[in-house]
Amino acid sequence: MENIMKAMVYYGDHDIRFEERKKPELIDPTDAIIKMTKTTICGTDLGIYKGKNPEIEQKEQEKNGSFNGRILGHEGIGIVEQIGSSVKNIKVGDKVIVSCVSRCGTCENCAKQLYSHCRNDGGWIMGYMIDGTQAEYVRTPFADTSLYVLPEGLNEDVAVLLSDALPTAHEIGVQNGDIKPGDTVAIVGAGPVGMSALLTAQFYSPSQIIMIDMDENRLAMAKELGATDTINSGTEDAIARVMELTNQRGVDCAIEAVGIEPTWDICQNIVKEGGHLANVGVHGKSVNFSLEKLWIKNLTITTGLVNANTTGMLLKSCCSGKLPMEKLATHHFKFNEIEKAYDVFINAAKEKAMKVIIDF
């Protein structure tokens, strides 16, 4: 049984199973095999579970003629157990952060730091196009450029958040939103990515950060982490309230951190002329894009998938204590309790859950 491990496997819409799978093996000389020590559940994993990404099955069937399930997860830390013959910067025994984006580092897009679109079968593939981190072991492609050695002393719960939530919020929300000193910012969605956007936006000294959500517990946490104002969109007209808070001007930057039409609609109605709308949320359905109202406003509207090109910088900021990310890790479970962890995360508002950490 040495080649068997436990894993959380996706089989289709609302069909995930905690079961035994074969341990991964090295395929390419740039691979590493990681024995996982911590992982987590991302909103994207819930999207897959709810059938938001049918391309997972479709592409596997096109490639192999059948779909035998996909191990979920693209975040976590672990210990390097094996390395391929070409791996130089990572060694067996290293404790590492697994980046959600795998990058070859040499293709045309990687040369432009567009790592999420690596042309050598990289990008966001883990827990999506290849098996992921919600397993006792994971194969990581391009180990030299897709793993980060964990510094001594860094809170390991925070290290897990450096896999995806923190760089996603910083790059696709804050950087794409071009936040500058004195700006007014609204973040719609106070989940882990929205909270990470709240924290990293403060690097750039905005004058006002408005957090919008329907969960009072999360809004209270947002206040603790630096939001100047909070709005409960379940009990208030969020658009009217934002306009009231900004003297009817709107915000310089709106960050959409959920991925549904109501949150998109708030964002497209609160950005002032010349402002930025940074979409971070993963949308599984089309939304109404009011171009007839927006074309005249000189807006910059951005979308994106994290490139993880600021992970190294964020890692240093976490080590210095400038990002209190550990507050986002609200629940801990053992790996054999991962089904319970999914249930808690699916019912996050009722359970007062932000980020669930799973320990092996």
Residue with the bigger pLDDT between 300 and 66: it is: 300
Percent of the chain having pLDDT more than 90?
94
Q: What is the end-to-end Cα distance of the chain in Å, rounded?
A: 18
| Nearest partner of 206 among 178, 248, 233, judged by Cα | 178
On the question of pLDDT at 88 being above 60, the answer is yes
| Nearest partner of 336 among 353, 358, 354, judged by Cα | 358
- Cα(312)–Cα(319) distance, integer angstroms: 11
On the question of pLDDT at 325 being above 80, the answer is yes
323: left (phi over 0), alpha (psi -120 to 50) or beta: beta
| Nearest partner of 338 among 316, 322, 360, 321, judged by Cα | 360
Give the pair of three-digit tokens for residue 170.
Answer: 């910083």
Q: Residue 27's pLDDT is what? A: 97
Average pLDDT over residues 151-171: 96
Strand duo 137-140 + 32-40: pairing: antiparallel
Q: Residue 324's pLDDT is what? A: 87
Average pLDDT over residues 29-40: 98
Give the pair of three-digit tokens for residue 240.
Answer: 């009217």
Q: What does the pLDDT look like over 273-285, one tens digit per residue?
A: 999 999 999 998 8
Q: Residue 1's pLDDT is what? A: 55
Q: What does the pLDDT look like over 50-70, one tens digit per residue?
A: 998 999 999 888 888 899 999
On the question of pLDDT at 46 being above 60, the answer is yes
Contacts (Cβ under 8 Å, ≥6 apart) of 142: 30, 102, 103, 104, 105, 118, 122
Least confident of 54-68, 133-147, 302-316: 54-68
Average pLDDT over residues 1-10: 91
- Cα(181)–Cα(199) distance, integer angstroms: 15
Q: Residue 300's pLDDT is what? A: 98
- Cα(251)–Cα(249) distance, integer angstroms: 7
| CATH top class, domain 4-164+308-359 | alpha beta
Q: What does the pLDDT look like over 71-82, one tens digit per residue?
A: 999 999 999 999
Q: Domain segments of the chain: what residues?
A: 4-164+308-359, 166-302
Which superfamily does 166-302 belong to?
A: NAD(P)-binding Rossmann-like Domain (3.40.50.720)
Q: What is the DSSP string of 66-128?
A: S---EE----EEEEEEEE-TT--S--TT-EEEEPSSB--S-SHHHHTT-GGG-TTT-BS-BTT
| Nearest partner of 10 among 64, 74, 100, judged by Cα | 74
Percent of the chain having pLDDT more than 70?
100
Alpha-carbon dihedral 151, 75, 110, 323, rounded to 10 degrees: -50
Beta strands in 169-215 (DSSP E): 184-188, 208-213
Burial label for 62, CB within 10 Å (0-12, 13-18, 19+), is exposed
